[in-house]
Structure 1
Amino acid sequence: MNREFDPARVVDLRPLGGKDWKAVGLGHWLRERERAALRQGWWVLHREPRNRYDANAIAVYLDCRKIGYLSAAKARAYSPMLDALGADGYEVDARIAGIQVYVTLPTPAAVRALVTASHSED
């Protein structure tokens, strides 16, 4: 288990809905046989600001195991908003299609609204 986040500090983004986007890098984290055997579970995004390749990196976890990342473009767009929310992880929905994973990301406007609401509660 590659747990790099506290499961008790996860914000649920699923009620915000969204659009499916392909996760990348699965081949690095999972053998093809493992990718073919993926099943639904607990999907969490986790920011990796200290990632040596991309300071905006957002990892995709399934049941506390890192399986891939959001694309660099999606990470660049979402990382400031997730950082502003300040959680250890962000629960999302995902869809498995063959050996591919599609993560459901809320619209940036929906995440910004959540950020604004979370800061108004402080």
Structure 2
Amino acid sequence: TLIKQYGLGKTTNEAMFVIEAYRTLRDRGPYPADQVIKDLEGSFGFVIYDKNAGTVFIAQGEDQRVQLFWGIAADGSVVISDNKDVIKASCAKSFAPFPPGCMFHSEGGLMSFEHPKNKLK
């Protein structure tokens, strides 16, 4: 199982699994961010802020059952939430649903799960 593959305990929940998988791959070497989600199945949407690297990693599954929104605040910062009202209040007109089946890494930009080497605009 994936939990064994990443050396995690049997009581690891889904949220901790994503965080620990990210950490494990980050610490093993320069693995691309898409390696964290290549084996995930089902509904998911998450944001990981890596304080050590100063990077952000966002992903949303294709089925959009977990929907994320993102936008640019007045001060230029990126705002991400699963609450559209929070984004709307923070970003005025500069917000949109996060694209389904995509991931964003602050070092690699926006990418599709299916074609992670092709950046999206």
Fold-level similarity (TM above 0.5): no
State the structure with bigger RCO (CA 8 A, min sep 6), 1 or 2: 1
Q: TM-score, normalised by structure 2?
A: 0.26
Higher Cα radius of gyration? 2
Hey, which of these two has a bigger chunk of helix by percent? 1
Name the TM-score, length of structure 1 as normaliser. 0.26
